[in-house]
Amino acid sequence: MPELRGVVNGMDCANCVAKVRKNLENTLGIEDVKLNLVSTKLIVEYNSEHTSEKDIIKIIKKAGYGFDHSYVQKSFFNLKHNKNLIFFLVGAVFLVSALIIDSLNVQHHHPLFYIPVIVVGGIPVYTKALNSLRAKTFDIDLLMVVAIIGAIIIDHWEEAAEIIVLFTLAELLEAFSMDKARQSIRSLMDLTPPTATRLIKGKKHEIVPLEDLIVGDRVSVKPGGKIPIDGKIDWGNSNVDQSPITGESTPIVKAVGDQVFSGSINLDGYIIIRVTQMSQESTVARIRQLIEEAEQQKSKRELFIQKFAKYYTPVMVSIALLVFLVPGVFLNIPIDSEILQDWLYQSLVILVISCPCALVLSTPITVVTAITRASKRGVLIKGGKFLEAISDVDTVVMDKTGTLSTGKLRVYKIEALEGYSEQEIVEIAYGLEYHSEHKIAQAVINLGERNNSRLLGYKDVKILPGMGIKGTRKGTNYYLGNETLVDKVLTLKSCDLDCEESESIVSYVLTDEKVIAHIHMSDELRLETKMSIEALKDMGITNIVMLTGDNEEVASKIASELGIDYRAELLPEDKMQYVKETKANDQSIVMIGDGINDAPALALSDVGISMGVAGTAIAIETSDIVLASDDLLSLPYLFKLSKETKRAIRINIFLSLFIKLSFFVLVFLSVSSPPVGSFFGDSLLWLAVLIGDLGASLLVILNAMTVGKKKHEKNR
């Protein structure tokens, strides 16, 4: 089915999204509409027999919005681009002039000097209201036009003018805040240059668009230049700043064969890179896509607020109508009486505070701010619901190898048995593990390469999940794996499993008849592991459990050193079963793993967190949050950010509702209590716009922008 992809320009609140979506979904031939407020990204699936791209774009423009096939960076303060800013400035100048003249008590000017404000300054409001009528959508722009007309009817010209200027300012502030949030996402597009220098036959250079590069091409990067695409260094060496991708502040030395990522900065050496990923599959492209998709994942609070706002406005409008109709219709108060005009005035105030903009903005702008700021720290969050869930967890479970530890094993001892020499064991193990990509296999392969061992050939090589590997050579079956494999192969046979050391990772080399060697490997904890766990405990998270496939002795030693609980000798399905049992006990659980063999447990947990994104697509696919820099100190930062975001959302919701409720109470106090009425006089309407709409929106935006801004120190 054909799709139209692009961005909708001019949206600054949830009503805008609803208006565009409603118009598109009511069009024959439109099958599905995905539209996001923050990124403004639009994806429309349509039936080409009933409609076309041209028709869809016309519908969007008819609703009062623009459309581009790709992001076009434009300054918010560009008057040519942002015409609403011009109307606001003109309206503000006329309003200030009119208020000054009014204060000088010049006779016979009223309402002459307020008319230009209402006519010129209100053009953006009138235009949007007209588009809403065409779209058959009842929104805040229509409510404001009604309030302006009502103020004029009761001879409150100055308040009609003030409503226009203040409401336009509120709309501009909302647009500016959304523009700032969008820039943080679009800034990811600037991480990579649009072109690259491709080498032809190692001599000739040509500048080509990134889209023209294919896997295997060689590109050169000068000192100080940005690395344009994912690849491996083919020639040269340099210090590379990967902070834009992983959040690591320290440059990393990269040499021939090392992986480099698009968006990184080549600091001091000339290097040639061989392309390993197409531009649309690069690390930066995946991160950008991840953040855009994250905006579609609504948190529970955001879904509740959207549902609440859906009913809030109609209820408030109904109350406003009743406030006017009850005195006029049911009490038969004459239409020209001051009492009825007072009630009409109060109904207009209720109309103004019926705008739920600040309330609707309270959650998404806070969440998006948190997600984008976290991404700059190398913490990639797939959606607000996962960020929210983090703050409510009861249990944190962690894989050991590759998570708590570096994951880089090294063989430090070989016990050869049954008359075999150490060299023979290394050759047997090297040939077997050469067919595997497991971390244990890599340690054996590294040993074989260091010793310049022969690479023996095997037939019928088979990976045995959770146990090891099997291969046949010269009629003999050889195995390499853990105790589970030994028990399975040597059932009812005597075997030698007594090792000289217990505090290590041991792999057994065996045939169908006997164990012929023990291979000892060590796996060191990350430098920051202990500090990270202590920080989590300080935050009140006491139920931290290590899940590992290692033997009881190794697991016990590490868990004791870290001061956490553990479960040892687990297969991937055992880890998943532990997560399932924990959830069955009504506990919220977070699982942290390497994103590959821990995938089942990651998928089942309430929040799955993977270590490492650079070059690891599986990490993004299987988890809800990714720690790009493999830095466990990002965990305390993530938990703090979650709590900070949750607190900011609560404050925003409280401020929005409290301000609205305050004006709602003042409306009835001003008509029922003379002292209150005399105190506010005829100023409640413009105050409702200034504080109830503009003020509330501004407070919500400013509070949202503080989330994640202060630095969470990493104590090393």
Euclidean distance between the first and final Cα of the chain, in Å? 53
The full length of the chain comes to 716
Q: Which two tokens stand for residue 560?
A: 């004791």
Q: Which of 165, 323, 154, 308 is nearest to 689 (CA)?
A: 165
The residues, any chain, with a CB within 8 Å of residue 185's CB and separated by 6 or more, are 38, 39, 288, 291, 292, 368, 372
**Do the Cβ atoms of 399 and 592 come closer than 8 Å?**
yes
Q: Is 217 a catalytic residue?
A: no
DSSP per-residue codes, 467-489: TEEEEEETTEEEEEE-HHHHHHH
Q: Which residues contact 660 (CB under 8 A, 6 or more apart)?
A: 353, 359, 692, 696
List CB contacts of 608: < 8 A, sequence separation 6 or more: 590, 591, 593, 601, 602, 622, 623, 624, 625
CA distance to 409, 410, 517, per residue, from 446 (Å): 10, 8, 18
Kindly state the DSSP code that residue 387 receives in the 8-state scheme: H
Local structure of 691: helix, strand or coil = helix
Given 12, 139, 230, 399, the catalytic residue:
399
Residue 250 neighbours by CB distance under 10 Å: 8
Helix (H) or strand (E) segment spanning residue 375: helix 364-376
Report the candidate in 714, 39, 652, 17 with the shortest Cα–Cα distance to residue 371: 39
Could you tell me the sign of the dihedral formed by the alpha carbons of 271, 277, 280, 285, in that order?
negative
CB atoms within 10 A of CB 317: 18
> What DSSP letter does each residue of 266-328 carry, written as one string?
E-S--EEEEE-S-GGGSHHHHHHHHHHHHTTS--HHHHHHHHHHHHHHHHHHHHHHHHHHIII
Question: Which residue numbers are catalytic?
Answer: 399
